[in-house]
Amino acid sequence: MDIDGTLLRWSLFLYLVDKLIEAGIFNKTVKKRFAKEEQRWRERRGGYDDYLQKVIEIFESRIQDVYVDDFKLLAENMVEEYKNRVYRYTRDLIKEKLADDWYLVAISCSPKEAVVPFAKFWNIQEIFAAEIEQKNGKYTNRRTLPKNKLEIVKKVKNRPEFADLNQENIWGIGDGEADIGLLQEVGHPICFNPTLILRQEAEKRGWTVVVERKNVIYRF
């Protein structure tokens, strides 16, 4: 399953950047560099991906020489603060599957320092996340994303211990076009609060669409 925007009601990465600024690890002028894109997105005049890409560019230009221990502590504190800001639908789905002894896998492009404690809090057994290269207790500016989500799903489900697993008992859930590969490889794909592109793909393929707004859950 995807994490940002699918389980968490925001983004671990964006929460983390805000905390880096608040802690003074990133200079406060950093916020001004992506504020314009954020405003355009919030006013629905620009795309979320444009906003996110701008923050990623700034993050990668500033993370070099940040102490690993400081970053980890900040990430853990951030997760402790926001760990329950999740969608009801995916929260309850996780609890249901865990009660039935399902094996849960999370895939996220946010840094593992935030993804791991968040996913562990929700008892997710396996985690794939972005990794930042470390040298001498500090980070470099080299960030490695997890493999393509389609390849991750193939790798996991082809393990010997899952050889007898019925395809219909392999579920996947995501919210954006980056999740299409994941969803096409599972037997029960769920498009949760999907982007327009994912919604169009769901209509073509007959995938389940679930939308949560306020305290109401709609299934299509």
Threshold 0.85, pTM exceeds? yes
pLDDT at 50 over 90: no
Q: What is the pLDDT of residue 127?
A: 96
At residue 29, the pLDDT reads: 87
Residue 135 is predicted with a pLDDT of 97
pLDDT digits (tens, 9 = 90+) for 11-46: 999 999 999 999 999 988 888 888 888 999 899 888
Strands laid side by side in the 208-213 sheet: 171-174, 188-192, 208-213, 216-219
Question: Is residue 69 over pLDDT 90?
Answer: yes
End-to-end, the C-alpha distance of the chain in Å comes to: 19
Q: What is the pLDDT of residue 146?
A: 86
For 83-139, what is each residue's pLDDT tens digit? 999 999 999 999 999 999 999 999 999 999 999 999 999 999 999 999 999 999 999
Q: How far is CA 152 from CA 18, 43, 123, 147, 158, in A?
A: 29, 35, 19, 6, 10
The mean of the pLDDT values for the chain is: 94
pLDDT classification of 186: cutoffs 50, 70, 90: very high
| pLDDT at position 147 over 90 | no
